[in-house]
Protein backbone atom coordinates (compact mmCIF):
# COMPACT_ATOMS: atom_id res chain seq x y z
CA UNK A 1 0.00 0.00 0.00
CA UNK A 2 1.33 3.43 -0.97
CA UNK A 3 1.22 6.00 1.79
CA UNK A 4 -0.07 9.51 1.35
CA UNK A 5 3.39 10.92 1.99
CA UNK A 6 4.89 8.81 -0.82
CA UNK A 7 2.23 10.07 -3.19
CA UNK A 8 2.98 13.65 -2.16
CA UNK A 9 6.71 13.07 -2.76
CA UNK A 10 6.08 11.83 -6.25
CA UNK A 11 3.88 14.82 -7.15
CA UNK A 12 5.80 17.65 -5.51
CA UNK A 13 9.38 18.57 -4.76
CA UNK A 14 10.57 18.57 -1.16
CA UNK A 15 10.61 22.40 -1.14
CA UNK A 16 6.98 22.54 -2.19
CA UNK A 17 5.94 20.03 0.47
CA UNK A 18 7.77 21.96 3.22
CA UNK A 19 6.02 25.25 2.44
CA UNK A 20 3.40 26.04 4.98
CA UNK A 21 0.08 27.60 4.15
CA UNK A 22 -0.49 30.75 6.21
CA UNK A 23 -3.47 30.64 8.51
CA UNK A 24 -5.98 33.41 7.86
CA UNK A 25 -7.68 34.62 11.04
CA UNK A 26 -11.44 34.35 11.13
CA UNK A 27 -12.20 36.84 13.90
CA UNK A 28 -12.99 39.72 11.48
CA UNK A 29 -15.76 37.63 9.92
CA UNK A 30 -17.11 36.80 13.37
CA UNK A 31 -17.10 40.52 14.26
CA UNK A 32 -19.00 41.26 11.06
CA UNK A 33 -21.58 38.56 11.72
CA UNK A 34 -22.09 39.56 15.35
CA UNK A 35 -22.50 43.21 14.42
CA UNK A 36 -25.19 42.25 11.91
CA UNK A 37 -26.99 40.21 14.57
CA UNK A 38 -26.77 43.10 17.03
CA UNK A 39 -28.14 45.60 14.50
CA UNK A 40 -31.04 43.36 13.51
CA UNK A 41 -31.86 42.63 17.17
CA UNK A 42 -31.86 46.31 18.13
CA UNK A 43 -33.93 47.20 15.09
CA UNK A 44 -36.43 44.44 15.90
CA UNK A 45 -36.86 45.77 19.44
CA UNK A 46 -37.34 49.30 18.14
CA UNK A 47 -39.99 48.33 15.59
CA UNK A 48 -41.69 45.84 17.91
CA UNK A 49 -42.14 48.23 20.81
CA UNK A 50 -42.64 51.39 18.74
CA UNK A 51 -46.42 51.23 18.82
CA UNK A 52 -46.67 49.50 22.21
CA UNK A 53 -44.78 51.89 24.44
CA UNK A 54 -44.59 55.56 23.47
CA UNK A 55 -42.67 56.43 26.63
CA UNK A 56 -39.64 54.42 25.52
CA UNK A 57 -39.70 55.66 21.91
CA UNK A 58 -36.63 57.88 22.31
CA UNK A 59 -34.66 55.16 24.09
CA UNK A 60 -35.41 52.51 21.50
CA UNK A 61 -34.65 54.97 18.69
CA UNK A 62 -31.21 55.60 20.20
CA UNK A 63 -30.63 51.86 20.58
CA UNK A 64 -31.66 51.31 16.95
CA UNK A 65 -29.30 54.02 15.73
CA UNK A 66 -26.52 52.59 17.89
CA UNK A 67 -27.14 49.22 16.23
CA UNK A 68 -26.74 50.85 12.82
CA UNK A 69 -23.43 52.38 13.93
CA UNK A 70 -22.27 49.01 15.24
CA UNK A 71 -23.14 47.42 11.90
CA UNK A 72 -21.24 50.07 9.94
CA UNK A 73 -18.14 49.58 12.10
CA UNK A 74 -18.46 45.80 12.04
CA UNK A 75 -18.91 45.58 8.29
CA UNK A 76 -15.80 47.69 7.74
CA UNK A 77 -13.65 45.55 10.04
CA UNK A 78 -13.18 42.50 7.81
CA UNK A 79 -12.35 44.30 4.52
CA UNK A 80 -9.93 46.64 6.26
CA UNK A 81 -8.23 43.86 8.18
CA UNK A 82 -7.85 41.52 5.20
CA UNK A 83 -6.72 44.36 2.92
CA UNK A 84 -4.05 45.58 5.33
CA UNK A 85 -2.99 42.14 6.62
CA UNK A 86 0.74 41.47 6.34
CA UNK A 87 2.46 38.11 5.82
For the chain, 87 residues long, give each residue's pLDDT as a single digit of tens.
556 655 655 676 767 666 666 678 999 999 999 999 999 999 999 998 888 778 888 899 999 999 999 999 999 999 999 999 886
Distance separating alpha carbons of residues 79 and 28, to the nearest angstrom = 8
Distance separating alpha carbons of residues 11 and 7, to the nearest angstrom = 6
Phi, psi of 13 (to 5 degrees): -75, 165
The reported pTM is 0.70
Closest by Cα among 35, 20, 34, 25 to 85: 25
What are the sequence ranges of the domains in the chain? 23-84
Distance separating alpha carbons of residues 45 and 52, to the nearest angstrom = 11
Amino acid sequence: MVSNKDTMKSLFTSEEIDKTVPVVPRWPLIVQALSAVAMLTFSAFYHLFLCKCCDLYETFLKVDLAGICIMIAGSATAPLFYTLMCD
